[in-house]
Amino acid sequence: MEREAFAGHVRDALAHLFERPYLRTHPLARLLLGPDEPAAADALRRLLLDAIEQIRPPEPCPPSSPAWRSYRYAHLR
């Protein structure tokens, strides 16, 4: 899968993060979890939320830094 297509799937999944029926059949769920994952919606949501937490800047980083802005944008979205 091309990088642009993957990024589009991620954006779309984030936009529907709390819509279980939508995420259950999302292309990103099939790609990352396999076609027969019974809890695909919950697993995909957990993967996305964990990925957002992984970009959280370390504590000494000032709140006005670009890293914090990126994290806050993703977290609030």
- Model's pTM, two decimal places? 0.77
**Which has more pLDDT, 71 or 47?**
47
Buried b (16+ CB within 10 A) or exposed e, 4-16: eeeeebeeebbee
Q: Which two tokens stand for residue 38?
A: 């019974």
Span 56-68, mean pLDDT?
82
**What are the angstrom distances between the C-alpha of 53 and each of 2, 39, 63, 75?**
25, 21, 16, 8
Return d(Cα 68, Cα 74) in angstroms, integer: 10
Span 62-73, mean pLDDT?
80
Q: Specify the pLDDT at position 63.
A: 78
Per-residue pLDDT tens for 12-59?
Answer: 999 999 899 999 889 999 888 887 777 889 999 999 999 888 878 888
Q: Specify the pLDDT at position 77.
A: 66
Taking a C-beta distance cutoff of 8 angstroms, is the pair 50, 68 a contact?
no
